[in-house]
A and B are shown apart, each in its own frame.
Chain A
Amino acid sequence: MSNGTTRIAGTIITYGFVGLMAFLSIFPFVWMLLGATNSSIDIIKGRMMPGSALATNIATFFTQVNAPLVFWNSAKIAILATVLTLAVSSLAGYGFEMFRSRHRDRIYSAMLITMMIPFAALMIPLFIMMGKAGLINTHIAVVLPTIGSAFIVFYFRQTTKAFPSELRDAAKVDGLKEWQIFLFIYVPVMRSTYAAAFIIVFMTAWNNYLWPLIVLQSNEQKTITLVISSLASAYYPDYGVVMVGTILATLPTLAVFFFMQRQFVQGMLGSVK
């Protein structure tokens, strides 16, 4: 085979492979969007055209599910978890990077090891703790154990290395206290780091399933993830309605991703370096 033919064959294989992978990645989304417009029977039959059942599906979804409440529950948990995690972790990341002291590195390493602790090993003690504190079936119980995140502390410490120490020194000369430097200089300067961390933590909190499944017991407290899971586990699930639910559950994270794609990718990259 001549060199030219090999190259053309290589190009065809490359595009074929990458194209197929992209198609397979997107297909479930397309199926979900089309599904929301079709009846359950048409979806099962594999109809891949827009249908006329969208209004019916939405109406059924809203009669079966108290959508505004469920959506609000998810949003409340995700935003609360994100704001608190970002505050606590950025303080710690700043502290670990800026202050030298004995045992600092040892404590930091010990903290990083906690990233390896699987949640399954924590859920029973956590459940009992929440029970004793009278917090079962509350959103606080969902949020509390997620705030202290070694991974996000690590992420903030890594990115703090890029924070110019001249700024800090200048502020000290001007007589600012440490907390003022943090609040009025560090936070504004590091806003893109905060943006990236926001996306990561928000998505994790919005999509969290196992812990809310354990802690949230009444329907009034449930999140959208719990609700679509229970819709889909019916003996004969109404797939059109399930699709409306999955779209609503995916929309916020999808929107966050598309609006903040750049920071998101950079945030992921920041954690490798």
Chain B
Amino acid sequence: MALARRGGIGRYYNVNGWLFVAPALGLIALFMIYPIVWSLWMSFQSGRGMMLKFAGFANIVRLWNDPVFIKALTNTLTYFVVQVPIMILLALILASLLNNPKLVGRGFFRTAIFLPCVTSLVAYSVLFKGMFALDGIVNSTLEAIGLIASPIPWLTHPFWAKTLVIIAITWRWTGYNMIFYLAAMQNIDKSIYEVARIDGVPAWARFTHITIPLLKPVILFTTIISTIGTIQLFDEVYNLTEGKGGPSNATLTLSLYIYNLTFRFMPNFGYAATVSYVIVVLVALLACLQFFAARERDR
């Protein structure tokens, strides 16, 4: 190693490298590392607004006795547990169907399914809020085709409000994940499928025994990205449920709760920082878990 570094490429060793990376590292240090450390320090403080005093573990104790926090945490985890698997599976199925070169119009289908990713989270939330209104187009269509007898209170019933958030984020992000899978599928040797087909392996088995194992690194990547996204959910919930977090906090997420604690209620930066660290821990924990789960299965 040391030898290789000194010879060959080692001749590029000079101060120029640091000059090139310095602006990016400086900005990341100033606007990511410094705030995240500060926020850890803040989570041990309490008080109103800027009048913070050291409070030890008082904020962490408060978490356990805060029903709104428990609600936000449960909601966030519910979105994650329900939505991420549905979306990943849906994206995988769509990608493998659209990867078939014999499929007529696959360019159109790909673009159509990818299109939602181009819209802003706010714009589509606003559209969905209108479409899923009590007398909106979704209810009237479902009634017209006889699927439901009375309109579903999408925005005002705790269960349906959560369902709506899940439908909305699935609509927005499935195509995004699909593109990653399509890209990875292009790299799979087609002859593997040919051999399997000749051996009489049915399509579903080809999907579960060839496609999914070969795509595992990409699936891991998208799962982690989606996990981070879902745990941070804010824009959709804020705009679908008018910033309140839905009927009796049914759609409240951790991010929205932090926003409320900081900018809506009497500001308590210390406690809000503590809640924000719950997100940090969750993201780290889930990413590690998924990483190790994927590794275990490799053995």
**Chain A interface residues (CB < 8 Å from chain B):** 10, 14, 17-19, 21-22, 24-26, 28-29, 31-32, 35, 43-46, 48, 88-89, 91-92, 94-96, 98-101, 104, 107, 111, 114, 116-129, 144-145, 147-148, 150, 153, 178, 182, 203, 206-207, 209-210, 214, 225, 228-229, 232-233, 237, 239, 242, 246, 249-250, 253-254, 257, 261, 265, 268-269, 272
Contacts and interface: CB of A to CB of B under 8 A. Distances in A.
18 contacts: A18-B109, A24-B171, A26-B115, A31-B127, A31-B137, A92-B21, A95-B20, A120-B279, A122-B39, A124-B42, A124-B272, A207-B123, A209-B238, A229-B239, A232-B126, A242-B130, A249-B122, A250-B123
B31 A228 contact: no
Contacts of B194: none
A122 B35 contact: yes
A104 B284 CA distance: 23
A29 B131 CA distance: 11
A88 B23 CA distance: 6
A88 B24 contact: yes
B259 A210 contact: yes
B111 A261 contact: yes
Chain B contact residues: helix, strand, loop or mixed: helix
Contacts, number: 255
A150 B21 CA distance: 11
Contacts of A18: 94, 97-98, 103, 109
Interface in B127-156: 127-131, 133, 135-137, 140-141
The CB with the most chain B CB atoms within 10 A, among A43, A182, A232, A249, is that of: A232
Contact of A100 (B9, B108, B259): B9
B138 to A, nearest CB: 9
A215 to B, nearest CB: 11
Interface residues of B, number: 95
Contact of B258 (A17, A99, A111, A120): A120
B122 A228 contact: yes
A97 B75 CA distance: 42
Interface string B173-186: 00100011001100
A117 B130 CA distance: 33
Contact of A14 (B31, B35, B97, B116): B97
The CB with the most chain A CB atoms within 10 A, among B17, B33, B126, B133, is that of: B126
Contacts of B292: none
Given A21-B113, A31-B131, A91-B24, A118 B31 contact: no
A194 to B, nearest CB: 16
Given A18-B98, A126-B31, A228 B20 contact: no
